[in-house]
């Protein structure tokens, strides 16, 4: 899988990961100038809750639930003022509602007890909150303007592998690989660029390589740019 893409990048003479990352970021930024988080929120607290609810469901589904939810629950105290069963009913449509309701209430309790009711921006504080793993913490910190890591979701994992930027499968190891080559000022926007590119162009099953702005930089591309013509070849196995 990812290992063959790294080797293929060398075989095609595409340059090192560090050499390619600049053009990759620049081209994706031009192609997807509107790339941003799809969740809708107005406050730091709404951001945190939205990201927690997005686990194991789509952003679209979360956005259907949160307008009414955020009208009813405006402060950490509000989430604790109702029985857990009531909160479960309010977030039922996002799935895994019992676990999510328990995590949200635990998080609200900790916010009140340790952070004066405010959402912390430091990663080491965020990951202490119930139900907040590193991916969630990275999303929240980045959206608060304090990116301390790189979000690795399914799109980021898949495209990082296809681009030959990592040979790893584990999200933590992939994040470390990306942190070594992606300029720190781009840590927040880089995942959004890959996510939107994955949705619009680099589909998991049928990537639109002929339309991809990264075709000449991507070792898994079916399109090879050669002098005076474009040659379509078989895709590299493994994704």
Q: Which residues are part of the catalytic machinery? A: 135, 153
CA-CA distance, 198 to 193, in Å (whole number)? 8
- Alpha carbon 50 to chain centroid distance? 14
CA-CA distance, 52 to 65, in Å (whole number)? 13
- Alpha carbon 16 to chain centroid distance? 24
Cα-Cα end-to-end distance for the chain:
6
The answer to whether 126 and 134 are in contact (CB under 8 A) is no
The answer to whether 72 and 90 are in contact (CB under 8 A) is yes
């Amino acid at each position: 899988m990812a290992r063959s893409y790294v080797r293929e990048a060398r075989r095609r003479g595409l340059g090192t990961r560090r050499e390619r990352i600049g053009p990759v970021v620049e081209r994706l930024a031009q192609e997807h100038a509107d790339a941003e988080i799809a969740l809708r929120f107005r406050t730091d607290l709404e951001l945190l809750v939205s990201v927690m609810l997005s686990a194991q469901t789509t952003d679209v589904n979360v956005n259907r639930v949160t307008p009414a939810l955020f009208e009813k629950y405006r402060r950490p105290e509000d989430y604790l003022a109702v029985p857990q069963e009531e909160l479960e009913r309010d977030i039922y449509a996002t799935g895994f509602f019992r676990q999510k309701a328990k995590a949200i209430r635990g998080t609200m309790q900790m916010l009140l007890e340790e952070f004066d009711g405010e959402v912390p921006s430091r990663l080491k504080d965020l990951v202490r909150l119930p139900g907040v793993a590193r991916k969630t913490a990275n999303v929240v910190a980045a959206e608060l303007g304090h990116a301390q890591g790189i979000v690795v979701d399914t799109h980021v994992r898949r495209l990082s592998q296809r681009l030959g930027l990592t040979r790893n499968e584990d999200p933590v190891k992939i994040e470390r690989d990306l942190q070594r080559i992606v300029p720190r000022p781009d840590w927040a926007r880089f995942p959004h660029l890959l996510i939107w590119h994955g949705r619009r162009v680099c589909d998991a099953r049928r990537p639109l390589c002929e339309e991809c702005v990264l075709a000449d930089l991507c070792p898994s591309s079916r399109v090879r740019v050669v002098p005076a013509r474009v040659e379509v070849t078989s895709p590299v196995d493994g994704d």
